[in-house]
Chain A
Amino acid sequence: GAVVSQHPSWVICKSGTSVKIECRSLDFQATTMFWYRQFPKQSLMLMATSNEGSKATYEQGVEKDKFLINHASLTLSTLTVTSAHPEDSSFYICSAGTNNEQFFGPGTRLTVL
């Protein structure tokens, strides 16, 4: 149980385009989902907290207009990287929370050319 999936697992896009990443809790309902970014050889950095039916809460320094988060249901949250640039290339990981536990997705590798 407690499986979280992400789609796509990797994506390559051109600079200036937008990319949508999906995070799904497959066998449980998640009232809260979290989005992290991880650069090579670094730790996970929390970007935002997403609650179903409400606006996401962004961490300091994360541009909410660039990283659009939608939490449309208790099993799906999406992160859209708008007008992507090479510096947005990173490993994006989501986690879904239930009963004070968090379960992580497998991550999405974004490469912006």
Chain B
Amino acid sequence: GESVGLHLPTLSVQEGDNSIINCAYSNSASDYFIWYKQESGKGPQFIIDIRSNMDKRQGQRVTVLLNKTVKHLSLQIAATQPGDSAVYFCATMGQGGKLIFGQGTELSVKP
């Protein structure tokens, strides 16, 4: 079946440093991956996505890397800011458009 998991539940970084959040998935047939940011008491906010025909995609200060060989993806945030503090989820889209969410990593940015 499909499952998405994260390696670390919490991550603390210094302001200005780069952050790397990891995610593993089990279904090799997964072909669409999404990263979401969720601030306390709010709904998930789309950050960036990547399809399985790519191994890297860049956005504004964020980069997603996909390694299909080991079924792993990561979210890199450059020059992390206090406003980046949130829980980050990876998700994969299954049948019928269902999203399967990973455990989540809580990112804490120290000033």
Contact = CB atoms under 8 A, between A and B. Distances in A.
A10 B97 CA distance: 27
Interface stretch (B14-22, B41-49, B58-66): B41-49
Interface string A64-100: 0000000000000000000000000001010101001
A97 B103 contact: no
B101 interface: yes
DSSP class of B's interface residues: helix, strand, loop or mixed?
A: mixed
Q: Number of contact residues on B: which range applies?
A: 10 to 19
Given A106-B42, A107-B42, A49 B89 contact: no
Contact of A43 (B93, B98, B102): B102
Interface string A1-38: 00010100000000000000000000000001010000
